[in-house]
Amino acid sequence: MAMARRVVVTGLGVVCPVGNSMDAMWASLRAGKSGLGPVTMFDASRLDSRVAAEVKDFDPETYMPPKTAKRMARFSQFAVAGAVQAWTDAKLEGACDPDRAGVILGNGIGGNEVDCEAHERLLNMGPNRIPAMTIPKMIVNEAAGNISMIYGLRGRIHTVVTACASGTDAIGVALDAIRMGRLDVAVTGGCESAITEYAMGGFCSLKALSTQYNDCPEKASRPFDANRDGFVMGEGAGILILESLEHARARGARIYAELAGYGATGDAYHLTAPQPDGSGAARAISLALADAGMTPADVDYINAHGTSTQINDPTECRAIRLAFGPDADRLMVSSTKSMTGHCIGAAGGIEAIVCVKSIEEGFVPPTINLEQPGEDCDLDLVPKVGRDCPVRAALSTSLGFGGHNGVVLFKRFAE
């Protein structure tokens, strides 16, 4: 059997609550800036949770013609914007075979605002008044489809849906496709926009969202803190360009980092809660390490799923201890969801980019709002202020409803 091809990161693009470009996002994370605020996209007065991490000052026409933008839901617009940034960053125009380039994206909820509008029209005006573009705008695969059409990419065009692990799993699927020789280039990552009364109302019914910080929204996302009370809904897109090392070398591409490993497991335990002892997530971490041919001692930083919920945060700390053993106390672990909120299907893409940038820049972003660690949240959680320090390798962990555990492992590129 031929040796699997090495896979590298050559382009990055992001739209998120703390910035609509790589430079803006990274500056915000370095500064520990919160992207949270009161919900402005709809009247949230009927909800117990009235805080969200919205994307600000986003103009889709910066990235596409007005007519094209109108035919997309907001999550697709974010994905296209991130892809345009990443494609440009990688200098890929005219530099790849479109039959060997694909799009593999993660998304959790799709065009929720489109669905809500169509349902209202159905109830008030009847089925014949549902807008013609409702289905093409709302279904989750359309973001990947739109990107493929913009760049004429005719390789694999897939969408991965594993709830909050969607973006991470999409990156893992893209890694496998390039390793196996099915693609040379993949546009991958995740996207989401579901800050709607319907989606937030549903999460409120599950008692999953923060409700105690409506009057000080920037404090509402507080992963690992003793006073955390739920996650904060975010939105955006994080897009990476992956290439086989051979393809990147042949065209003289700049390489940010190597994507060395991927692990995925299922808890088979509960629809919304993780396995309490963290064993499912721990196995995914161990699989990613084994896939990369690395040991716990090789990793310096984990960008944790860190949602700010009562159950997730201590469970994830237990998982890290199970997988890393004595090395767990040496690791730096932080949750950038303290600043971006939980961007659902986009989270894995955005947080993978944070890992890549941490390796490139030698900086670990903080977990802001961490005043007093909660029970069993006993790792080095980089509270309040980030750290300038070398990062040889970084893990991004994602845990999704349904028991989905996804982990990707990036390392500093070396020939």
**Known catalytic membership, residue 342:** yes
- Are 162 and 169 in contact by the 8 Å Cβ rule? The answer is yes
Residue 305 annotated among the catalytic residues of the structure: yes
Residue 317 is a catalytic residue: no
Q: Structure tokens of 23?
A: 């430079």
Which residue in the list 16, 342, 355, 377 is annotated as catalytic? 342
C-alpha span between 28 and 24 (Å, rounded): 6
H or E element in which residue 397 lies: strand 393-400
Q: Letter for the amino acid at 344?
A: I
Cα distances (angstroms) measured from residue 297 to each of 158, 328, 330 = 34, 9, 9
Identify whether the C-beta of residue 199 lies closer than 8 Å to the C-beta of residue 189: no
CA distance to 135, 173, 286, 345, per residue, from 106 (Å): 18, 10, 22, 6
Catalytic residue among 16, 96, 158, 164: 164
| DSSP assignment of 157-168 | EEEE--GGGHHH
Q: Give the number of other CB atoms < 10 A from CB of residue 216.
A: 10
Q: Measure the CA–CA gap between 39 and 55, rounded to whole angstroms.
A: 11
| Cross-strand partners of 367 | 383
Of the residues 158, 247, 305, 404, only one is catalytic, namely 305
Catalytic machinery residues: 164, 305, 342
